[in-house]
Every structure is written in structure tokens, then in C-alpha cells.
């Protein structure tokens, strides 16, 4: 399951980055709304799998009354420092892209390209988070079984 999610996140990241670059050209109309909706559904499913894995594997760190909070520091420590910087940069880029797209005054004919640019800029970040999670954070039962099993020549 981890490999499938990792592959889906990587493919979604590449497709959303290609769509984002396409939105700066005259060919932005080639990618319709269905592509963005399909990518949005895929990233939503990845987020659901991520949340389910975190809830199943993580022990709560602190409690505020009846509310148990996740100790996220261990997850962040397992991500290499360069990728942490990339995640923060992608989040800032998605926010800046959104603000600039909202501030644009474009004719109705170019509105589809701006909408594609806004959506794909966010999808880049929303696919990058599961990609990093499934690659570095979530070990999963597959790797635990492989670590416990004796090696075979």
C-alpha cells in the first residue's frame, strides 16, 4: 500500500507541476477542469490514507482534557533538513501564487488559465506532502516485516 501511495503522490506531483508550467503558455486550455478535479480527488484520497496511518501508528503526545494531540516532532525529525526547507518553500509559493492570481485582472478568455495556475500551484504542495510522508515518515508494516525477517542469500 505504501508503494502505491508513494507512486500516486509522485505521479500527481509531476502532473501538477506540468500543468502549472502549462498554465503560463497559450496551451492552458488543453487541460480541462476534469484534470484538476481528478488530481484533487487523488490528493484527497492520499490525505485520507495519510491520516489513517498517522492515527493508527502514532501515540498521542499531550492531552488537553479529552483532546489528545499528536507528537509531530518525531515525524518532522525523520524528514531530511533539505526537504523540510523545500516543503516550507512550496507552501509559501502556493500562498504567493494564490494571492497573485486573485489580484490579477484578466479578460474572461484568460480566466481558465489563471484558474489552472491557481489550482495546480496548490496541488504541487498538496502532492509534495504525501510524497515526503510516504517516503520518509511512514515506515509501514511492509518495512517492519522486512526488518524482522532474516536475510536470504
pLDDT at 54: 81
Domain annotation covers residue 131 = yes
Domain annotation covers residue 152 = no
Domain annotation covers residue 67 = no
Backbone torsions φ then ψ of 101, nearest 5 degrees: -70, -35
Domain annotation covers residue 52 = yes
Q: How many distinct structural domains can be found in the chain?
A: 1
Domain annotation covers residue 153 = no
pLDDT tens-digit profile of 4-35?
999 999 999 999 999 999 988 888 777 778 88
Neighbours of 19 (CB within 10 A): 22
Domain annotation covers residue 150 = no
Domain annotation covers residue 101 = yes
pLDDT tens-digit profile of 29-84?
777 788 899 999 999 999 999 888 887 776 666 666 666 667 677 788 888 988 99
pLDDT tens-digit profile of 77-127?
888 988 999 999 999 999 999 999 999 888 887 888 888 899 999 999 999
Query: Which pTM was predicted?
Result: 0.79
Domain carrying residue 29: 2-61+78-140
Q: ∠131-135-136 over CA atoms, to 5°?
A: 115
CA distances from 105 to 100, 108, 109, 111, 114 (A): 10, 9, 12, 9, 10
Q: How far apart are alpha carbons 60 and 83 in whole angstroms? A: 25
Domain annotation covers residue 68 = no
Amino acid at each position: 500500500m505504501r508503494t502505491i501511495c508513494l507512486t500516486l503522490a509522485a505521479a500527481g506531483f509531476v502532473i501538477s507541476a506540468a500543468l502549472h508550467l502549462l498554465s503560463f503558455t497559450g496551451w492552458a486550455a488543453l487541460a480541462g477542469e476534469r484534470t484538476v478535479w481528478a488530481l484533487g480527488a487523488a490528493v484527497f484520497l492520499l490525505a485520507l490514507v495519510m491520516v489513517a496511518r498517522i492515527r493508527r501508528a502514532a501515540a498521542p503526545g499531550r492531552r488537553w482534557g479529552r483532546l489528545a494531540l499528536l507528537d509531530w516532532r518525531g515525524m518532522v525529525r525523520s524528514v531530511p533538513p533539505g526537504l523540510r526547507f523545500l516543503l516550507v518553500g512550496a507552501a509559501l509559493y502556493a500562498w504567493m501564487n494564490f494571492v497573485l492570481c486573485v489580484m490579477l485582472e484578466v479578460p474572461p478568455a484568460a480566466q481558465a488559465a489563471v484558474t489552472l495556475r491557481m489550482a495546480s500551484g496548490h496541488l504541487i504542495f498538496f502532492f509534495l506532502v504525501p510524497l515526503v510522508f510516504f517516503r520518509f515518515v511512514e515506515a509501514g508494516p511492509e518495512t517492519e516485516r522486512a526488518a524482522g525477517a532474516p536475510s536470504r542469500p
